[in-house]
């Protein structure tokens, strides 16, 4: 196993203290190299993951986020489930005040899919 594969396999979302916990601000992150595999055909799917979040006590470490996103490369997972799982894991690690995730998948078979999910701390059903 090569060192990059090992880092991806062992990767987890890491956070650090928000340097401005009393200030409300947005952090915008684009991850243009998301890849997973279709659970039905095995064909690869490619997407850009867009995260916009308002941190509370912690912020996510970007290299850890990149490695976490890269861990989906060989997973058989649907567009819908991958987007929801990424959001769930992000919320569990970072506990932001708000987060919006948009997964913009490249067209495959003449179909373009975008999944958008929002979580607001303290609201039920998110």
List 68's β-bridge partners, or say none: none
B/e letters for 56-75, b = 16+ CB within 10 Å, e = fewer, are: eebbbeeebbebbbbebeee
Residue tagged 């880092």 (tokens): 7
CB 101: neighbour CB atoms within 10 A?
22
DSSP letter for 66, please: H
List 59's β-bridge partners, or say none: 16
Task: Please give the Cα distance from 3 to 46 (Å, whole number).
Answer: 23
* Catalytic residue positions, numbered: 38, 45
């Amino acid at each position: 196993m090569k060192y990059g594969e090992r880092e991806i396999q062992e990767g987890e979302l890491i956070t650090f203290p928000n340097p401005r916990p009393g200030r409300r601000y947005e952090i915008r992150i684009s991850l243009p190299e998301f890849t997973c595999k279709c659970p039905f055909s095995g064909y690869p799917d490619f997407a850009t993951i867009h995260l916009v979040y308002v941190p509370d006590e912690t912020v996510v470490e970007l290299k850890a986020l990149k490695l976490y996103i890269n861990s989906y490369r060989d997973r058989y997972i649907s567009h819908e489930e991958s987007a929801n799982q990424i959001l769930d894991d992000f919320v569990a690690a970072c506990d932001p005040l708000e987060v919006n995730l948009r997964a913009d998948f490249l067209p495959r078979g003449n179909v373009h899919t975008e999944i958008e999910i929002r979580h607001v701390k303290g609201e039920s059903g998110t």
